[in-house]
Structure 1
Amino acid sequence: MSPYSDTKRPCKANKEQCVGCGWSVRRRPKDVETIVGLGASRITSAPKVANEGTFPTNLAGYIDHTLLKAEATRDDLKKLCDEARKYSFATVCVNAVNVRYVAQLLKGSPVRVCTVVGFPLGASTGSSKAFETREAVRDGAQEIDMVINVGAVRSRDYSTVLDDICRVVEAAGNCPVKVILETASLTQEEKIIACALSKIAGAAFVKTSTGFGSGGATAEDVLLMKSVVGSELEVKASGGVRTTDDAKKMIEAGATRIGASASIAIVLGKSEKQKKSSSGRKSLY
């Protein structure tokens, strides 16, 4: 059993009182120190490739088929859902305003509905992220990808970061929460700590990038993140994953979910250039 298992889930107090309950002051600093230490020890002994030679036969089942363009139309969303059904992708990932429509389109399908919260900057309050989450779940979202408070991570304001994630996890209920770190904006130490905080808060995944930042997923970051979270959380790679080879590198590094708009190119082994010429839809991921 993990030494921090009693704090893996947020407390059950009224979420509006979360910041002032005192739990963060009394318990979290010690937990952060413990989990970061465990992560560091894993990193020093981690292989250069986490799952070398491992490649799933059902690659589509690893993919969140993504469309986060603000100008996406109903026709674009219907096409996204039709593709997801055809290829059996894990989820479709759309902006919150489109969740209800997409949930209707996918009703009766094994394809799940994923949405984003605090996207793409993560610079909204924890209470507003929690509100977004509750509304998205009511509309039919089954997975939540939230953006971490990057500025608070870089300021070492870890209590704020943790409360931010806790609020979303609590609001999500039984829906898995993926915490987007925006790794291109963080140092190695900050990535480790962000993973540690996500783990303490009860997230289901840590995720590399929004796809809107200064950089995307790298195999090195995926390996680092997996080394910190171990088997207790999963890792999602997103941002710049456009080919089968890209996906293979991420999965070998430890990713169990891929966020991509070039999903069909990935599963069919086409190049992104071929995919664009056939679909006409430019990838953001």
Structure 2
Amino acid sequence: MNLFKIFELTQLHPRTSERDIIDLCQEAVALEAHSVCINSSYVALAKQLLEGSDVKLVSTVGFPFGTTDTLTKIHEAKTAIENGADEIDMVINLGLFKSKNYVSVLRDVTDVKLAIGSIPLKVIIEISELNKNEVLKACQICLDAKVDYIKTSTGFSKGGATLTVVKILKKSVKNRIKICAFDGIYDEETASKYLDIGVDRIGINSDFKASEVAA
């Protein structure tokens, strides 16, 4: 199996240049990756670079902290879609979540989902910042908001995906929401373990040992 068929090649560093986006898109096309994930300012450029390919284009909104207000997230998401984004990634508002203001967190996620309609929405819950009970609560919010994916991490916190937490996610949401594991996955062996427990998408960055991926 070509693992890149479920891989999301990611370039979200604040120093990302146009050259980096060009290289990313060319690599994604060559490897037949599922998608690329980039910041919204580069969506229009990436759309041109991916034209004629099957590679999907994912744009972040309110990234990487999720603390922008809902209307700003909606505007950014709609603009990204107008510029060619096929999917939207948003970060759960951890400050509101840790304040146990779950109603506001749910409203934030739901309003973005309603605003983008049929466009898939991935919600990043930043699992390294949550205990087990909080992970379960975040899953319930995502279920209530009818999002399409839960994503483990931004890559900007103290840790990324873990097999233990991804198993909890899978058990909690069953097949009602898809799972995207990101950060901390650097080789084919690790990626295969996530695939074995049922993840639907795997996000990788430039640290991944692409030469080890079997065709």
Do the aligned residues in 1 keep the contact of 2:120 with 2:148 (CA within 8 Å)? yes
Report matched runs for 1:46-61 at 5 Å.
57-61=1-5
Equivalent residue, structure 1, for 2:171: 227
DSSP-derived class of the 1:97 partner: helix
Letter in 1 for 2:92: I
1:154 matched to which residue of 2? 98
Match of 2:126 among 179, 182, 185: 182
Change (3 A) 1:70 1:95: same
RMSD of aligned alpha carbons? 1.4
Alignment-mate amino acid for residue 199 of structure 1: L
SS of the residue corresponding to residue 92 of structure 1 reads strand
- Deviation of the 1:265 alpha carbon: 2.0
1:214 matched to which residue of 2?
Answer: 158
Gaps of 5+ in 2: none
Name the counterpart of 1:170: 114
Q: Could you tell me which residue of structure 2 aligns to residue 76 of structure 1? A: 20
Count of aligned positions: 213
Q: How far did residue 139 of structure 1 move? A: 0.9
Indicate if the aligned counterparts of 1:62 and 1:89 stay in contact, CA closer than 8 A: yes
Check if 1:88 corresponds to 2:69: no
Q: Deviations over 1:126-148 (max 9, x none)?
A: 22111111111111110111100
Matches within 5 A, 1:97-246: 97-246=41-190
Using the alignment, how far apart are the partners of 2:209 and 2:69 within structure 1? 37
User: Unaligned stretches of 5+ in structure 1?
Assistant: 1-56, 271-285
Any conservation in 1 of the 2:185–2:208 contact (CA below 8 Å)? no
SS of 2:68 mapped into structure 1: coil
Q: What displacement does 1:72 show?
A: 1.6
After TM superposition, give the deviation of residue 228 of structure 1 in Å: 0.8
> Which is greater in Rg?
1
Greater fraction of residues in strand:
2
Native 8 Å contact 1:120 1:210 kept in 2: yes
| TM-score, scaled to structure 2 | 0.95
Between the aligned partners of 1:187 and 1:153, the Cα distance in structure 2 is 12
Higher helix content, 1 or 2 = 1
Q: What is the percent sequence identity of the aligned residues?
A: 36
TM-score normalised by L of structure 1: 0.72
Query: Is residue 9 of structure 2 the alignment partner of residue 65 of structure 1?
Result: yes
